[in-house]
Structure 1
Amino acid sequence: MNDFSSRPGIPLRALAPNAITALALCTGLSGAWFAMQGRWENAVAAMVIAGVLDVMDGRVARMLKGESRFGAELDSLSDVIAFGATPALVMYMWVLQDMPRFGWTISVFFVLCAALRLARFNARIDTENQPHKLAGFNTGVPSPPGAALALLPMMIWFETGAEWVRDYRFLGPWLLLCAVLMVSNVATYSWSSIKVRRSLRFMALATVGLFTATLVAAPWVAMIGATIVYAALLPFSAISYARVKKARRVQTEAA
């Protein structure tokens, strides 16, 4: 009887998460293609879908036990393209190309910061002494939320038609701020660092339901709200990490 488990090759469970990552890369990069045609809503939607796929690939990899170093490297490359290069190109074609002298410089700086953030992540992937990670926090703003923050003015324009968000004097500094947040050492919430009290679990479920209903009825309102809430939580995440760090120091000293 043949032993199929000894056959050479890569198991399908290892390819599934990598396929999702590749799909996220292609979908995110398609945002630039839409932008070239002036289809701005499609451009942002492509990056939103890429963000959903980016969340899925890690979950699928852990579920199927298909994690690999190759997958981690591919995921980082996908993030640089989908959430670094594409948002920068879209914002450049939308407004920054009209900015005298520094429009392209700001766009390139955003891509550079996204790449530096992911290079830092890969360099530390085998390092045990990572205070933020051990406490369940991220270091700096991850590239998908960073892209969402960068695209926030465009989403506001979709919903309200406000022209002030299309002013390069506003958009240039805003994109610089988003880039700096990605490479900063600010502790930001991750999924594992967010804890919901038992007394608030029904409220949390109701909030998720409300967000889903809004996403169906008014998608840009939902996306704007979620992005603004994330930005508003950044100071609280830093405070929360400071509390965790202090509690751990007290425990260490007591021990």
Structure 2
Amino acid sequence: MGPKAAEDEVAVSRRAGEGLTLRAVLPNAITAAALCSGLTGIRFAIAGEWQAAVIAIILAGLLDGIDGRIARLLKAQSRFGAELDSLADSLSFGMAPAIILFLWTLEDLPRVGWFASLAFALCCALRLARFNARIDMDDQPHKSAGFLTGIPAPVGAGLAFLPFFLTMATDLDVFRDPLVNGIWVLVIAVLMISNVATLSWASIRPRRHIRLEIIAAAGLLFAALLLEPWWTLSALSMIYLLTLPFGALRYRKIRLQRAAR
């Protein structure tokens, strides 16, 4: 682990009481930057700068995706980093999106909207606590099969912003309806703490003969994010939602095969 082992990776144990090494400064600095980016999104939301607020959360997600990998590349895993990363994730992908969404639309239904925001932030914290509690456990059926349990926190934050993406892309206020957004946020909150098996990067193994096509698709995706960011983010969110039943069915098949053996 370090800053935190990804949910589809095996944690590396370290000696108890081992301090923070100098080479661990870089990955933990990236984690701190992700934390600051997520919290700065709240500042933008208070000022009504909605696009900047959501971009700050997306930037926090990108930083969160590289800090652990840099730590493993530098062999700078630490328990300090694991705890810092979980704290940063809870604030950047739980509390910050909840507040941004409340200020953007949910405050039009103060009681119901605040309840939905609280549920989202709470479920994000519970998910991270569950992951930390299981990080050293050997018996993890989903992880051993290359799957995750529920929706990861950064992905949950991105999906919660799907109505915002559609509003920015279409200029239609129908996607800003507070009741619809409140229900949507509750659904994503439940999916984060659910036991549904979801696909992980470890389970995606493209065949050799299509790797060039994947590289080309990645380049075109980056260009699409530059040209039409909100439509592209909306499409990515919808594609991920479509993978949920596929992941559940695929895991069920693997589980039945294991039971047969």
The TM-score normalised by the length of structure 2 is 0.90
Match of 2:22 in 1: 12
Match of 2:181 in 1: 171
Once the two structures are superposed, the pairs formed by residues 165-204 of structure 1 within 5 Å of their partners are 165-204=175-214
Root-mean-square deviation over aligned CA pairs = 1.4
Match of 1:152 in 2: 162
Once the two structures are superposed, the pairs formed by residues 62-101 of structure 1 within 5 Å of their partners are 62-101=72-111
Q: Deviations over 1:42-80 (max 9, x none)?
A: 000000000000001011011001111111111111011
1:183 counterpart letter in structure 2: I
* Counterpart selection for 1:128 from 134, 138, 145: 138
* Counterpart selection for 2:115 from 105, 111, 127: 105
Structure 1: runs of 5 or more not aligned:
1-7
The worse-fitting range, judged by mean Cα deviation, of 136-145 and 96-105 is: 96-105
Q: Which runs of 4+ in 1 moved over 6 A?
A: none
The worse-fitting range, judged by mean Cα deviation, of 113-122 and 61-70 is: 61-70
1:89 counterpart letter in structure 2: I
2:98 counterpart letter in structure 1: A
Per-residue deviation, 1:244: 2.1
Per-residue deviation, 1:246: 2.4
Higher relative contact order at CA 8 Å, sep ≥6: structure 1 or structure 2? Answer: 2
Identity percentage of aligned residues: 51
Match of 1:5 in 2: none
Match of 2:3 in 1: none
The worse-fitting range, judged by mean Cα deviation, of 227-236 and 116-125 is: 227-236
Q: Deviations over 1:96-129 (max 9, x none)?
A: 1111521111100110000000000000011010
| Distance change (3 Å), C-alpha of 1:101 and 1:10 | closer
1:215 aligns with 2:246: no
Distance between the aligned counterparts of 1:79 and 1:243, measured in 2? 32
Match of 2:54 in 1: 44
| Distance change (3 Å), C-alpha of 1:195 and 1:88 | same
Q: Deviations over 1:194-252 (max 9, x none)?
A: 121223323322221210111121222221221111111111111121222223333xx
- Is the CA contact 2:106–2:179 (under 8 Å) kept in the aligned structure 1? no
| Distance change (3 Å), C-alpha of 1:242 and 1:9 | closer
Distance between the aligned counterparts of 1:172 and 1:83, measured in 2? 17
| Distance change (3 Å), C-alpha of 1:27 and 1:100 | closer
The TM-score normalised by the length of structure 1 is 0.92
SS of residue paired to 1:138: strand
Q: Deviations over 1:157-216 (max 9, x none)?
A: 111111111111211100000100000001111111112122332332222121011112
Distance between the aligned counterparts of 2:196 and 2:114, measured in 1? 27
